[in-house]
């Protein structure tokens, strides 16, 4: 009988020792175990994939496995033989288990090496296209940030509105052109798509008491012929500040600060008297700035001091005098984001904003 070294060195030594100590008293079962050891290690070495390894494991160590069978036969042995041959069986089982593990590990790394053989890690990686914010969203975010720094908070209101919120409460008489069927999208039930975000002035004053300081971005809808500078749906930014002692100076200071933050310190302003039903006095704001192409005046906003008729409409609706025209004053403003984004981003046609064309959008 020949002592064999199993693959794992420590078990190999044990096998050698146990065998050499017992050269005189060999038992047929011990020989059978040793020869199974030899054939098992040989079979494991010649496995060429992981499923063969698994088959070997089951054949040798499984419930009906060949080595397992020897454990059951231990009871055939005498008291003197049992510990010695039991030890040999244990060592062989350990050696076979280690050989299975080792061969399996080698096969896994071979398989992985094969998978990577044709991969050139020096090639440039795949570029994943990254998204970007829509130019109007970018402008909106900057706008909100600037007003937040001045203590304005965000307010909201529905796109589908009542005539009262859109017109009556805003002191806009029944014969005002904005209320015309040809200018406004009416729903069959008499509600409408808001023609401006000034509705949120009313929505806010219905809920809050002064001091009120809000901005409200949102969509507005008009029956405009769609062309390079008009869409039937566009984006507005509304502002409202109501408190005691709010003055026209506050309005000018707020808007000039805001637009200078956005377009640069060089911006110049013109407040031209205008008419809005819900502000008195009312103005249109013109701006001239290098960032906006310099040279020419651009009309960018409507604004004014809140008309006391607006306060009274809200008081009547609330059934309490939260707004006292003797005590409270306020200013309101509104401007469109689309046209500003067009100028800032050099976009020649407003329709690009809503086309959803990747080639356009990926430029920002
Ligand atoms: N709502 C007005 C418009 O859409 C703008 C505006 C808002 C004017 C607030 C004055 C005060 O044209």
pLDDT tens column, 153-191: 999 999 999 999 999 999 998 888 888 888 899 999 999
Answer yes or no: do 87 and 176 share one domain.
Answer: no
Which of 1-10, 94-103, 221-230 comes out lowest in average pLDDT? 1-10
Q: How far is the CA of 333 from the centre of ligand 1 (A)?
A: 6
Q: Is the CB of 198 under 6 A from ligand 1?
A: yes
Question: pLDDT-derived band of residue 24, with 50, 70 and 90 as boundaries?
Answer: low
Does residue 18 sit within a domain?
Answer: no
Q: Is the CB of 303 under 6 A from ligand 1?
A: yes
Q: Are 132 and 361 in contact (CB under 8 A)?
A: yes
Answer yes or no: do 242 and 272 share one domain.
Answer: yes
Range of the domain at 329: 135-361
Answer yes or no: do 104 and 243 share one domain.
Answer: no
Does residue 256 sit within a domain?
Answer: yes
Does residue 10 have a pLDDT over 90?
no
Answer yes or no: do 96 and 216 share one domain.
Answer: no
Answer yes or no: do 146 and 110 share one domain.
Answer: no
Q: Is the CB of 218 under 6 A from ligand 1?
A: no
Question: pLDDT-derived band of residue 343, with 50, 70 and 90 as boundaries?
Answer: confident
Answer yes or no: do 196 and 296 share one domain.
Answer: yes
Q: Is the CB of 196 under 6 A from ligand 1?
A: yes
Answer yes or no: do 355 and 300 share one domain.
Answer: yes
The per-residue pLDDT for 300 is: 95
The per-residue pLDDT for 25 is: 59
Question: pLDDT-derived band of residue 132, with 50, 70 and 90 as boundaries?
Answer: confident
Answer yes or no: do 151 and 281 share one domain.
Answer: yes
Does residue 17 sit within a domain?
Answer: no
The per-residue pLDDT for 20 is: 47
Average pLDDT, the chain: 91
Q: The tokens of 232 are what? A: 């039937």
The per-residue pLDDT for 356 is: 85
Pairing of strands 153-154, 212-221: parallel
Does residue 13 have a pLDDT over 60?
no
Answer yes or no: do 223 and 278 share one domain.
Answer: yes
Does residue 59 sit within a domain?
Answer: yes
The per-residue pLDDT for 26 is: 75
How much is the CA Rg of the chain, to the nearest whole Å?
A: 43
Does residue 2 sit within a domain?
Answer: no
Answer yes or no: do 108 and 140 share one domain.
Answer: no
The Cα angle at residue 166 between residues 321 and 147, in degrees rounded to 5: 80
Which of 117-131, 174-188, 195-209, 333-347 comes out lowest in average pLDDT? 117-131
The Cα angle at residue 50 between residues 49 and 53, in degrees rounded to 5: 100
> Measured from the CA of 301, which atom of ligand 1 is nearest?
5
What is the C-alpha to C-alpha distance for residues 92 and 3, in angstroms, rounded to an integer? 12
**Among 66, 87, 115, residue at a domain's last position:** 115
Q: How far is the CA of 133 from the centre of ligand 1 (A)?
A: 27
Q: Sheet harboring 268-276: ordered strands across? A: 153-154, 212-221, 233-244, 328-336, 298-306, 279-288, 268-276
Does residue 129 sit within a domain?
Answer: no
Q: The tokens of 293 are what? A: 């192409």
Does residue 31 have a pLDDT over 80?
yes
Q: The tokens of 351 are what? A: 């329709």
Q: How far is the CA of 55 from the centre of ligand 1 (A)?
A: 81
CATH (domain of 255): 3.30.930.10
Q: Is the CB of 200 under 6 A from ligand 1?
A: no
Does residue 262 have a pLDDT over 90?
yes
- 260 in helix, strand or coil? helix
How many structural domains compose the chain?
2
Does residue 153 sit within a domain?
Answer: yes
The per-residue pLDDT for 305 is: 98
> Measured from the CA of 302, which atom of ligand 1 is nearest?
8
User: Which is more confidently placed, 46 or 294?
Assistant: 46
User: Which is more confidently placed, 235 or 71?
Assistant: 235
Which of 34-48, 120-134, 300-314 comes out lowest in average pLDDT? 120-134
Does residue 22 sit within a domain?
Answer: no
Answer yes or no: do 93 and 175 share one domain.
Answer: no
Cβ within 8 Å of residue 173, ≥6 positions away: 277
Does residue 16 have a pLDDT over 50?
no
**Among 115, 144, 168, residue at a domain's last position:** 115
Answer yes or no: do 36 and 108 share one domain.
Answer: yes
């Amino acid at each position: 009988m020949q002592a064999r070294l199993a693959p794992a060195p420590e078990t190999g030594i044990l096998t050698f020792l146990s065998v050499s100590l017992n050269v005189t008293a060999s038992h047929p079962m011990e020989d059978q175990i040793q020869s199974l050891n030899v054939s098992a290690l040989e079979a494991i070495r010649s496995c060429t994939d992981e499923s063969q390894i698994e088959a070997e494991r089951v054949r040798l160590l499984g419930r009906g496995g060949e080595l397992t069978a020897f454990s059951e036969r231990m009871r055939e042995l005498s008291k003197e033989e049992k510990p010695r041959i039991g030890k040999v069986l244990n060592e062989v089982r350990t050696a076979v288990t280690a050989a299975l593990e080792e061969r399996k590990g080698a096969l896994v790394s071979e398989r992985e090496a094969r998978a990577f053989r044709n991969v050139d890690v020096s090639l440039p990686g795949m570029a994943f296209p990254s998204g970007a914010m829509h130019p109007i969203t970018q402008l909106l975010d900057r706008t909100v940030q600037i007003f937040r720094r001045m203590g304005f908070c965000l307010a909201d209101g529905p796109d589908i509105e009542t005539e009262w919120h859109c017109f009556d409460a805003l002191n806009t008489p029944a014969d005002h052109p904005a209320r015309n069927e040809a200018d406004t999208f009416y729903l069959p039930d008499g509600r409408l798509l808001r023609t401006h975000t000034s509705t949120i002035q009313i929505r806010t004053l219905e809920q809050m008491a002064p001091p009120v300081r809000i901005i409200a971005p949102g969509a507005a809808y008009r029956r405009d012929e769609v062309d390079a500078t008009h869409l039937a749906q566009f984006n507005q930014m509304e502002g409202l500040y109501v408190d005691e002692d709010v003055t026209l100076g506050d309005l000018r200071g707020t808007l000039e600060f805001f637009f200078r933050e956005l377009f640069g310190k060089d911006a110049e302003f013109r407040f031209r008297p205008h008419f809005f039903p819900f502000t008195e006095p009312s103005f249109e704001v013109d701006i001239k700035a290098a960032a906006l192409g310099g040279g020419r005046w651009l009309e960018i906003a409507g604004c004014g001091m809140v008309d006391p008729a607006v306060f009274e409409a809200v008081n009547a609706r609330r059934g309490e005098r939260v707004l006292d025209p003797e005590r409270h004053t306020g200013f309101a403003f509104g401007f469109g984001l689309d046209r500003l984004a067009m100028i800032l981003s050099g976009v020649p046609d407003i329709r690009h904003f809503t086309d959803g064309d990747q080639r356009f959008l990926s430029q920002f």
